[in-house]
Structure 1
Amino acid sequence: MNKMLKAFGIVLGMSAALAGVAQAAPTEVRIGVALEPPMLDPTAGAAEAIDIVVYQNIFEGLTRIDQNGEVQPGLAESWTISDDGLTYTFKLHDGVTFHDGTSFDAEDVKFTFDRILGENSVNAHKEFYTPITAITVVDPLTVSMTLDHVVGRFLFDLGRGDAVIVAPESADNNANEPIGTGPFAFVQWDKGSRVVLEAYGPYWGAPVHLTKATYVFISDTATVTNALLAGDIDGTNNFAAEALAVFEGNPQFKVLVGTTEGETILATNNRKAPFDNLKVRQAMAHAIDRKAIIDGATYGYGTPIGAPFAPHNPYYVDLTDTYSYDPAAAKALLAEAGYPDGFAATLKLPPVAYARLSGQIIASQFAEIGIKLNLINVEWAQWLEDVYSNKDFDLTIVSHVEPFDIGNYANPDYYFGYDNKQFQALIETLNGTIDEAKRKELAIEAQTILAKDAVNGYLFELAQTGVWNAKLTGMWQNSPIEGLVLRDIAWTE
């Protein structure tokens, strides 16, 4: 009898223990992403899909960009800048290893940037690092870089996926078997299906909460929806806005709506009449009803902008009221410009929903002030040739997704042909300024000039619309740089 009671007690104890295990928070996450990366080496390809998987997860840079778009220490624990702004000296973290067990030191930093700057480099943004004229290994944990001119955003550029540190022992194989220093190590890539990462035990930094992360490639909205509802995946960082209603109000999910780096603009050919006339551009700006465009083209999830800066950027200033929606003022300006009856123009639209939907709405809005738009749908190859390369267009709609690309406006040969010597001098000063407070002041001045000149029609910032299991925390709401960073993601009880 006693043996039976004892056995029964053991069973009860085991049941309780198993119940405790069952109730414990999981430590693995499965994330649905729309695009499979073409490779897994961010220093050798431009596709955002690469960084979504590897940036700050497998690979790290000397600096890193946080979810507010600000520069934080990465593999460099600190740095000093010479008085002339030309030499950066980085103190590296000690005890860092790559996922294959090899040590990280200053020689790896030198190898990485020599590789980026090499004659055979395939780095997508080599131009960010060409100002580097010398890389000096001071000691195993100290490295210095000398520039040929002051680059105000140099620390930001070091935090991009293009500048992650790689090792000479493994760099040639990173496209398929990436080896970095990050909190997660590559496990496997089932082509066409998924990439699996696991937490790297000897990671030098703060421990992460997850033990495993699986990126599942699902391009179809209906399939992603079903996978979320069935629990086959635990979240996705950018879900189709038109289908979000399925998850809003559902207590099993949280919908995170933030901003990306995608400034959506009505790009204008400033070199071509009548768009070389400021009053015409001002009239068009007054004719734009951003709310109607956002409601119709983004299902209400876009964020209005008045200049080419993302609202999450520390330098952002709200300039949406520079030319408020005012059709009467638009008509008056057109008359002053010599177009009392308006004019006809073409609007070339690339094959993305936000552009073609926005184009239809803007055509209707412009018709109210006498501007008749002929909508021309083009594929990306034709858009790149006609609009971007040959500048053969009147108007177009596109999202510019490169972080901190306001410098494009200082290039009169860029496709929208804005040529303002005052602005060009301002950007040159901004590029050569290191002090953050002064940089912000200059960036706000630059945005204000572009807004007043109505260089383009500034419409909205593309939204990041994530759908996640309600018990997950630590996901980035905004996307100030390409990537889906895992380090803070955790399950709650």
Structure 2
Amino acid sequence: MTFRTGLATSLVAAAFTVSVAAEAFAQDLRPGRIRVGMLADINDFDPMAFSTVNFPTIKNLYDSLIEYTPEGRAIPNLAESWTIAPDNRSVTLTLRADVKFHSGAPFDAEAVSATLRKANDPRAGKNVYPTMSIVQEWAVVDPRTIRITFRNPAPTRQITDLLQFISVIDPAAIENVSTRPVGTGPYVLAERAVGQRVRLEANRSHWRASQPLSPEVVLTVFENDAAATAALESGAVDLVYGTTGRSAVRLRAAGYQVVEGPGPLVQVFRINSTRGPFRNQTFRQAFNHLIDRAGILRVGYAGLGEVTALPWAPASPAHDPSYAQRYAYDLDKGRALIQRSGLPQAEISNWKLLVNGGEEASVRISQIVQASLARVGINIELDLKQGAEFIDALLTGKFDAVFGAVGNVQKFPTRLTTNSIYRTVNNPILGEPNPHPEYVEAIRRVDTTLGPEDAVKAAYDNLNRVLVETAFGIPTNSYPIGLIVASPRVGGFTLDIDNMLVARTLGFKP
């Protein structure tokens, strides 16, 4: 059967062999009960509810069609190979033959089709649904082969992002997957005590040789970071997932391991360019130089991460570290742009900086910016809001400027548009139509440039130039999400492109 969906994409041809580096490393470790501290309970077990609170379980209960190395290279997973059509309008996947779901049901192309059908439903697809927008239809060719067709030719990385995002669910379990997960992953759900713990047991029928290494993973919920790290120090847990930068730096100095993945968030000074002095583009551009990025990284995130003037992680093909030097903190350059804007003195200070008063890092970095701006004559108030009041203001554009993190920055560049301030259509902050048509066009160009390599790079370079010139978002620094602090006894860490917890290779050093 053939199923149709809601948007467009295209693909590339690739077939790789699975790396055995992690397995070889795991052989030097001994199995044991892995005890993990986490700072919030999971919401549910649906892998399409792609929220950070669910990151400790997704990669342990489910397998995706393909995976990425930390550098962003696509490698096989449930799909042992894939071929992108010459016109980049479809991709054909050959599936592994040795995989079963936790229920014992066979993994096959019909199961992938059922998962795609869920992903393509606006409600059931949850966070995966927007990524499905590039897909026109899909067809089961035979039990081990499925073909996905795109509405338009799409870049390779955009296609592999889709395949990496799809975690396959047992068709019989889809209706109740939020509470009763059934995937093909290395662990199965053994116990769920809401607000307390999640216990996972090894899937001994898992298709990866010698994995999972450890027979059990216990995820314990702690009410705050201090309680979780105290449990680590006392030996009650073996690692903490999602700890803060400050705790990580302190514990690293005490001999604990700190594991940072390739999928950080980027902190962005978000500017509502439809309000006040920020309607003036030259005034907005001044903020490329008025923000002390190094100070923000140091004070807000204990130095973990890197300064950046662009919203990309190193794994992104659009990453260009030279911008951090080109648009470095320079009050003289910022002052000159303010003067060039032609705005009167009273107007340049006629705005407030919205602050998440419930987040210590946001308060600290907002105070740094407030002090820095005062040095060039911009004297502003901090508008502290907490909880639902802050979230409502952030997501509906009820602000002049605010700090807010953006994700998907290690994937295909136009995945950035899943973040509210960067949306090209139906932007909840900037309105419709988008007031920055040059940005919209730059995104379109990246989405439609397939090659040669110099043409693709030119499209990325153009997008980067437009981002700093339109200046409705001023990136300041990356910082780790899913940060792990672990006992020196634990080994076998596998870095996930989204910084999710991967427990199948974890064990204890001899």
Q: Deviations over 1:396-454 (max 9, x none)?
A: 11111244433364616525536443432332232234569454553343123312443
- 1:72 and 1:440, CA in 2 relative to 1: closer, same or farther beyond 3 A? farther
Matched, 1:394 2:400: yes
> Which residue identity lines up with residue 343 of structure 1 in the other structure?
S
1:413–1:173 distance in 2 versus 1, CA, 3 Å: closer
For 1:433 and 1:204, how far apart are their aligned partners in 2?
A: 37
Shift of 1:99: 1.0
Q: Deviations along 1:3-51, whole A, 9 cap, x unmatched?
A: xxxxxxxxxxxxxxxxxxxx993432111111111211123x3432223
* Structure 2 counterparts to residues 129-208 of structure 1, below 5 A: 129-152=132-155, 153-160=158-165, 163-208=166-211
CA shift, 1:307, in A, is 0.8
Q: Contact 1:269 / 1:415 at 8 angstroms: preserved in 2?
A: no
Larger Rg belongs to: 1
- Segment drifting more, 440-449 vs 59-68: 440-449
1:38–1:50 contact (8 Å) kept in structure 2: yes
Aligned twin of 2:355: 349
Query: 1-side partners of 2:392 and 2:29: how far apart?
Result: 56
Distance of 1:410 and 1:53 partners within structure 2? 29
Q: Which residue of 2 aligns with 1:383?
A: 390
Q: Deviations over 1:158-181 (max 9, x none)?
A: 212xx2111222222322221111
Task: Pick closer, same or farther for the CA change 1:447–1:237 going to 2, 3 Å.
Answer: farther
Q: Which one-letter code corresponds to 2:89 in the other structure?
A: L
Task: Compute the displacement of 1:132 (Å).
Answer: 2.6
Report the equivalent of 1:430: 446
Q: Mark the CA change 1:122 to 1:77 in structure 2 (over 3 Å): closer, same or farther.
A: closer
Q: Residue deviations 1:252-306, cap 9 Å, x none?
A: x212345643110111112334223232123222221111222222222242111
Query: Which residue does 1:62 correspond to in 2?
Result: 65
RMSD: 2.6
> Match for residue 500 of structure 2?
483
- In the alignment, the residues of structure 1 paired with residue 316 and residue 135 of structure 2 have an alpha-carbon distance, to the nearest angstrom, of 26
Partner of 2:379: 372
2:40 aligned with 1:27: no
Equivalent AA in structure 1 for residue 245 of structure 2 = A
Residues 440-488 of structure 1: CA deviation (Å, up to 9, x unaligned): 55334312331244332221112244211113223256x6315211233
1:28-177 paired onto structure 2 within 5 Å: 28-43=33-48, 45-55=49-59, 57-118=60-121, 121-152=124-155, 153-160=158-165, 163-177=166-180
Structure-2 change in CA distance of 1:221 and 1:383 (3 Å): closer
Structure 2 unmatched runs, 5+: 1-27
Q: Which digits, 9 at most, give the CA deviation of each residue in 1:132-171, with x for residues without a partner?
A: 33221111111111122234312212212xx211122222
Contact 1:285 1:325 in 2 (8 A): yes
Q: Contact 2:261–2:498 at 8 Å: present in 1 too?
A: no
Correspondence 1:225 to 2:229: yes
Alpha-carbon shift at residue 86 of structure 1 (Å): 1.6
Pair 1:259–1:120, CA change in 2 (3 A): closer
Distance 2:476 2:423 in 1: 21
Identify if the C-alpha distance between structure 1 residues 169 and 109 changes in structure 2 by more than 3 Å, giving closer, same or farther: same
After superposition, residues 284-323 of structure 1 pair within 5 angstroms as 284-318=287-321, 319-323=323-327
Distance, in Å, in 2 between the alignment partners of 1:436 and 1:192 is 52
8 A Cα contact 2:491 2:507, kept in partner: yes
Distance (whole Å) between structure 2 residues aligned to residue 397 and residue 24 of structure 1: 42
Q: 1:258 to 1:38 in 2, by over 3 A?
A: closer
Partner of residue 338, structure 1: 342
- Given that residues 63 and 168 in structure 2 are in contact (C-alpha distance below 8 angstroms), is that contact kept between their aligned partners in structure 1? yes
Instruction: Sort the Cα spacing of 1:258 and 1:42 in 2 relative to 1 into closer, same or farther, 3 A.
Output: closer
The one-letter amino acid paired with 2:77 is: G
CA–CA distance in structure 2, aligned partners of residues 51 and 257 of structure 1? 14
Identity %: 23
Match of 1:358 among 365, 387, 391: 365
Return the offset for 1:110.
1.1
Distance 2:391 2:324 in 1: 29
Secondary structure of the 1:159 match is helix
Verify the 8 A CA contact 1:60 1:182 in the aligned structure 2.
Answer: yes
User: Is 1:52–1:482's contact at 8 Å kept on the other side of the alignment?
Assistant: no
Name the CA distance, whole Å, in 2 between partners of 1:439 and 1:473. 39
Equivalent residues of 2:288, 2:474 under 8 A apart: yes
TM-score (ref. length: structure 2): 0.84
Question: In 1, distance between residues paired with 2:81 and 2:191?
Answer: 34
1:368 maps to a residue whose letter is R
**CA distance 1:339–1:244, change in 2 (3 Å):** same
CA deviation string 1:201-248 (max 9, x = no partner): 221123222222221111322211221112111112332223335422
Q: Shift in Å at residue 121 of structure 1?
A: 2.6
Name the counterpart of 2:424: 411
Between the two proteins, the alignment pairs up a number of residues equal to 464
Structure 1, 89-98 or 207-216: larger mean CA deviation = 207-216
Residue 383 of structure 1 and its aligned partner are, at CA, apart by 3.3
Contact 1:347 1:375 (C-alpha < 8 Å) held by counterparts: yes
Q: What amino acid does structure 1 have at the position aligned with 2:285? A: Q
